[in-house]
Amino acid sequence: MLSGQLVGRLFSMAGRVCLSRGSAGSGIIGPVEAAIRTKLEQALNPEVLELNNESGGHAVPPGSETHFRVAVVSSRFEGLSPLQRHRLVHAALSEELAGPVHALAIQARTPAQWRENPQLDPSPPCLGGSKKTRGTL
């Protein structure tokens, strides 16, 4: 069941569904998140675009836009391997990936695949800090 906050972010636009969980779960959509959404909509014309800013679960300052998880359902993915699908997403977001976005988890599915499993895989917990603070190389 979707919370009232999420329901407020759920839209249907010409048969497309877009869901946003806001900047680090705050319900506020920041400029990086807005740019990601716009670019993916323009490049892939998705039937479903679910974008989660997961920065709040990582060792970054509050309000950061550095870690995202996206589910993109597009007919543009028909006949493409998972790697080719990810390359399309990366191409659309090359500016963000070269700059503010540190991590992007992608689920790129065809409409038929999404109908079979309309779930976004959970993210693993952040280990916090950096390799240096964890004592690894």
pLDDT 10s digits, 25-61: 456 789 999 999 999 999 999 999 999 888 777 767 7
Contact yes or no for 41/10 (Cβ under 8 A): no
State the amino acid at position 30 in one-letter form.
G
Give the count of alpha carbons within 13 A of 28, CB side only: 9
Percentage of the chain beyond pLDDT 70 is 70
Maximum Cα–Cα distance across the chain: 51
Q: Which of 61, 51, 67 is nearest to 126 (CA)?
A: 67
Residues 6+ apart with CB under 8 A from 117: none
Element (H, E) at 67: strand 67-73
pLDDT (tens place) for every residue of the chain, 137 residues total: 333 333 333 333 334 454 544 544 456 789 999 999 999 999 999 999 999 888 777 767 777 777 789 999 999 999 999 999 999 999 999 999 998 988 899 999 999 999 999 887 777 776 665 544 545 44
Predicted confidence at residue 80, as pLDDT, reads 98
Contact yes or no for 80/101 (Cβ under 8 A): no
Predicted confidence at residue 56, as pLDDT, reads 73
